[in-house]
Amino acid sequence: MMEEVRLDDLIILQRGFDISEKEQITGIVPVISSGGTLSFHNEFKVKGPGVVIGRKGTLGKVYYTAEDYWPHSTSLWVKNFKGNDPKFIYYLLQVLHFEKFDAGAANPTLNRNHIHPLKLKVVKKEFRSKIVSILSAYDELIQNNKQRIRLLEEMAEEIYKEWFVRMRFPGHETAKFVDGLPEGWEKKKVEDVFKTSSGGTPSREKESDYYGGDIDWIKTGELKDTFVFDSDEKITDVGLKNSSAKMFPANTLLMAMYGVNIGQLGISVKPASANQAVCVFNPLKPEKYSLYYSFFFFKSIRFHLFNISMGAAQQNLSQDLIKKINYLSPCSYIIIKYDLMVKPFFEEIQILQQKNQLLQQTRDLLLPRLISGKLSVEHLVEEAIPKG
């Protein structure tokens, strides 16, 4: 079932193409860098389907595109599949851990000449399509769920814009406006509505005592404008007590204050803690608070957050800046009505995300075992393909 080959028996890799931000014209062609889709250009360099891996910076990350694309100079792209299914190559490259082949000094770099001679044991060609069918079924289900999530988010956000931006909320026809606001609505500061706080980082010098516990410890990279189910790292009770990190309850709104994720939001699914780069919003009057309204409010002012952020090396927001942000506070009746309207959307989003988490975990467990031949493809084909 297995055979030994060199990587360049299967594919030939090529360095990507230089293109600056100024040279790009907005279009529909993905520009794929070492970190994934960087932007969208109006012309392509390579016809799809294609497979791209990180060459510089983020080494070895693998990306698949069915469309024509522009592989960025920070990547390597498959120039010749040598008759192999691009999807199989995409799955194979994910288990090769190219980050081990760093050929750079200060900046990690992957050299194609170093990995082309790599000897591999791979499943024989006649079995590869079965592996692709199994893993693709998981990927397609995950993508379908992501599309459903996007639609639900768009629906909830459109209602927010209709009611609170365009001011076409229920009863707007007869509402009395005072100084540009419906009667009963107020302009406040964030500090009038929330007690904001940030977390902390337990000392790495006592890593064995402070890390590896059961408490979720959320960082800015995990805030992606959606629910946060689990954190990449967990801390212990001792680590929590010996740092500035504090526990906050489930369904708490979080915002990234530093770095490239500035302004990105998250909703904690369970009680958790966070590091000092995360702003935690605790409502002062929970009975008059809508998590979903606040989520879209802060999402709608992200451009403003960029403008008020400061920092030499990187942008950052401070607690003082966040507290002084203007916050539109609608009347309780409208807030309750909006909550009732969009809550089912968010509940469905949460269910779909949980399904995707399970699908991803199963796929990630199957991937190396299928590629290595440890799982027999013949008996897995019918059982392993998820049905929904």
Domain boundaries, the chain: 2-123, 186-329
Task: Please report the pLDDT score of residue 200 as a whole number.
Answer: 94
CATH label, 186-329, candidates 3.90.1150.10, 3.90.220.20, 3.40.50.920, 3.40.309.10: 3.90.220.20
State yes or no: pLDDT of 116 exceeds 90.
yes
Task: Please report the pLDDT score of residue 102 as a whole number.
Answer: 72
Fold agreement between 2-123 and 186-329: yes
Compute the distance between CA of residue 264 and CA of residue 249 in angstroms, rounded to an integer.
19
Report phi then psi at 213, rounded to 5: -90, -150
Task: Please report the pLDDT score of residue 97 as a whole number.
Answer: 87
Compute the distance between CA of residue 197 and CA of residue 184 in angstroms, rounded to an integer.
28
- What class is the 2-123 domain? alpha beta
Of the pLDDT bands very low, low, confident and very high (cuts 50, 70, 90), residue 187 is very high
Report phi then psi at 118, rounded to 5: -60, 130
CA distances to 30, 84, 183, 193, 379 from 128, rounded to whole Å, are 28, 9, 66, 57, 14
**To which residue do tokens 């931000």 refer?**
21
Where helices occur in 65-216 by DSSP H, the ranges are 86-94, 112-115, 125-160, 190-193, 207-210
- Which tens digits make up the pLDDT trace of 324-360? 999 999 999 999 999 999 999 999 999 999 999 999 9
Higher pLDDT, residue 163 or 97: 163
Give me the count of residues in the chain. 388
Task: Please report the pLDDT score of residue 384 as a whole number.
Answer: 45
Work out the average pLDDT over 360-367: 95
Mean of pLDDT over the chain: 91
- Which tens digits make up the pLDDT trace of 215-274? 999 999 999 999 999 999 999 999 999 999 999 999 999 999 987 788 999 999 999 999
Q: State if pTM tops 0.95.
A: no
- Which tens digits make up the pLDDT trace of 28-55? 999 999 989 989 999 999 999 999 999 9
